[in-house]
Amino acid sequence: MGCGGCVALLPGGQCRTCEDGNGFFHPCPALDAIVSSTKIACPHAGCQTYVPYHEAADHQSACPHAPCACTETGCGFVGAPHALAGHLADLHSVPVRTVQYGRASQVPVSGPRQLLVGEEDGRAFLLTVGALGAAAAAVSVVCIRQSAATQPRFSCKMWVNLVQPAAGANSGRADMVLVDIQMRSTTRPGAVVAVNELTFLAVPRMYMVPVAGDAASMELEVPLNIRIDKISR
């Protein structure tokens, strides 16, 4: 019976049973080579990868098609990130916006959640907003997928410019708030709370503007600028 990939991790590359020759298992290099080369298909929908059987668990935990849960309370939907993006847009009316990697996008944010989808590969990112006391809002972004170890990894810059500088301020340059983060990944985007993230953008209330430019509106939005970059492939 073959020992599979685990034998390489043992001292001398051989298990004690085989070394003593007194156990039920006996070394068979030819059969071990056959078994070790056997590949199985990843069970995740949309993934057509075949991997050696002893590497299947590692692949499944890092597979970009590994299922993720819906953000909405009480919804039991679980699916691949791209399927989740469609589910959120179609069934829960979560706003969706396409972004290009390496390019800044203007993303006005007025609701608690917004979905960003990479134009290049359909990768899904969840933007969340929450209250930071009475005077500011917290904005965070995460990648919806199984593992942060999966390539590529992402960084993100988010910033907001002060639209109406205070009276008496120098007119040559407007104030801004900015954050530069290494993006984390999550399979449970519904559990993401902006103020609980390791890093978030804190936006003072004076940086916000009325929704849709309506000065009479009591609802405010964050005139967010965002840039997502791949930092590895």
Give the tens place of pLDDT for each residue, 153-207.
899 999 999 865 554 555 556 789 999 999 998 888 888 899 999 999 999 999 9
Predicted local confidence at residue 214, as pLDDT: 61
Mean pLDDT for the chain? 80
Least confident of 38-52, 90-104, 162-176: 162-176
Does 13 score more than 60 pLDDT? no
State which of 18-22, 181-185, 219-223 shows the largest mean pLDDT: 181-185
Q: Is the pLDDT of residue 2 over 50?
A: no
CA angle 130, 136, 138 (to 5 degrees): 35
pTM confidence score: 0.71
Residue 165 is predicted with a pLDDT of 53
**Ordered structural domains, the chain, with CATH:** 4-62 (no CATH), 95-230 (2.60.210.10)
